[in-house]
Amino acid sequence: MSGIIDDAMERGLVGHNVVRDISRNRKSRDRAAKRQKGKLKIGVDIPLPEDIRQLIEGATTPQWRALLILLAFTGLRVSEARGLRWDNVDLTKGKLRVCERADRYLKIGRPKSISGERTVPLTTFVINTLKAWKLQCQKFESDLVFPSPSGKPYYNSTVARQGLIAAQGDKVKYTGIHCLRHFYASFCINRQQDGGLGLPPKIVQERLGHATLAMTMDTYGHLFPVEVDSEVEDAAVLRVISGSRAY
């Protein structure tokens, strides 16, 4: 019912979704309970690389495909992607400026905190995806990268339902759109030999727009490698005792 009313609101047919207000309170309690259960788990809370490939292949429209790719490979919050304007996307330099977000009432304003305002690098794959989508994107005065049929931002629930869930077909594994942000965090953290970027915690914090490094480590600290290759460690010890400066 909430999804039906959301669709009507995006088309300008109704002004308020009372069902969403009720479900939001329940979801907040569910999220709080989930946080108490423990750490985020790969394949449960954090999509696997093969899950991301399947989502991209299963996207129902070019718009949802572009949005899923952007979320998975930039770590943007869904509110930031919903409020993203073409003017803040530099496809020539490969950078995206996060300076606005769309709230639950579809109003666009600044991010919640200063740390949320940041510049995110774009890979060639993401750049080419956005270039292709820009040619097809319907133009509105709002200049949104992902506009609804009325030119306004989409609701979070619509992005999750029509983007994430629909792309999974009959076998739905992930229902919360925030899982794509979790994937990007794990992609940044994983070692290069494991298919990730191997970025240090401070860079991960800046890319995600976390207010503090502690927030990043509290959420994703268990994903950082804790084992050091024994040969690398032995070589480092030898450099110390031999007086070598080749660190």
Position 238 in a domain = no
Residues 90 and 189 in one domain: yes
Position 20 in a domain = yes
- Give the total number of structural domains in the chain: 2
Q: What is the pTM of this model?
A: 0.80
Residues 57 and 154 in one domain: yes
Residues 26 and 76 in one domain: no
Residues 23 and 112 in one domain: no
Q: Which residue has the tokens 């925030």?
A: 178
Report the pLDDT value the prediction gives residue 33, as an integer from 0 to 100. 45
- Which residues constitute the domain of residue 105? 40-223
Residues 14 and 64 in one domain: no
Is residue 73 within 8 Å of 120, Cβ to Cβ? no
- Give tens-digit pLDDT for 139-179: 999 999 999 999 999 999 999 999 999 999 999 999 999 99
Q: What is the mean pLDDT of residues 210-229?
A: 87
Report the pLDDT value the prediction gives residue 35, as an integer from 0 to 100. 45
Position 231 in a domain = no
Report the pLDDT value the prediction gives residue 106, as an integer from 0 to 100. 94
Most distant CA pair in the chain, distance: 76
| Cα distance between residue 75 and residue 83, in whole Å | 14
Residues 51 and 19 in one domain: no
DSSP string, 68-137: HHHHHHH---HHHHHT-BGGGEETTTTEEEE--EE-TTS-EE--SSGGG-EEEE--HHHHHHHHHHHHHS
Write down the mean pLDDT value for the chain. 87
